[in-house]
Amino acid sequence: MPRLKPLDHPAGQSRALLDQVRTAMGSVPTLMRVLAHSPAALRGYLSLRDALTSATLPLRLREQIAIAVAATNDCNACLVSHHRYGRDAGLAVEEIANAQHATSADPTSAAALAFARILLDRRGHVSDAEMGAVRTAGFDNAAIVEIAAAVALNTFANLVNNLAHNPPDTTQLCMPRTE
């Protein structure tokens, strides 16, 4: 049972934001209905989520990062959602399974996932060698910041879902599928 009940009929700013989500997605995911307790938190989440849709990181890689973060943070609700998002983004079952361990058969994706895991595990404290490794894999400063943003966005979603004890939401997902 959720500890933070998702709001079905919020008022004010949260209602307006959820109406926008409903228009864009067709329904409102549980995570966003929980975030609706705080219009500021919901607005912040939606702003970063929407901004990352125009990121230089490809959708497939953003989904691999989301899977790695959800697995690391033991967020089953997000893990279930991002398995589906990953499939929708074209990830094979093996790629999804590897992402849960922050690995990939593709060397470029593997470098990004390893870096995302280091960011998460060490809260941003990375060595010069680790920065060099992700740069050598082809990631410029913009992409490195976007990896950090994807880790932060998904960590926030994981924290809220774990705090709320949200069950997996099989009808909706934590991030948009658009490129």
| pTM for the model | 0.89
In the chain, ranges of CATH 1.20.5 domains: 12-52
For residues 67-80, give the mean pLDDT: 95
Residue 66 has pLDDT above 70, yes or no: yes
| DSSP class of 27 | S
Spatial separation of the C-alpha atoms in residues 160 and 144, rounded to whole Å: 25
Comparing 177 with 70, which gets the higher pLDDT?
70
Q: Tell me which CATH code domain 59-164 carries.
A: 1.20.1290.10
Residue 178: what pLDDT? 41
In the chain, ranges of CATH 1.20.1290.10 domains: 59-164
Average pLDDT of the chain, as a whole number: 91
* Residue partners of 145: CB distance under 8 A and separation at least 6: none
What CATH class is the domain 12-52?
Answer: mainly alpha
Element (H, E) at 17: helix 12-25
Q: Which of 25, 68, 49, 56 lies closest to 143 in space, CA to CA?
A: 56
Residue 28 has pLDDT above 60, yes or no: yes
Residue 111: what pLDDT? 98
Residue 1: what pLDDT? 66
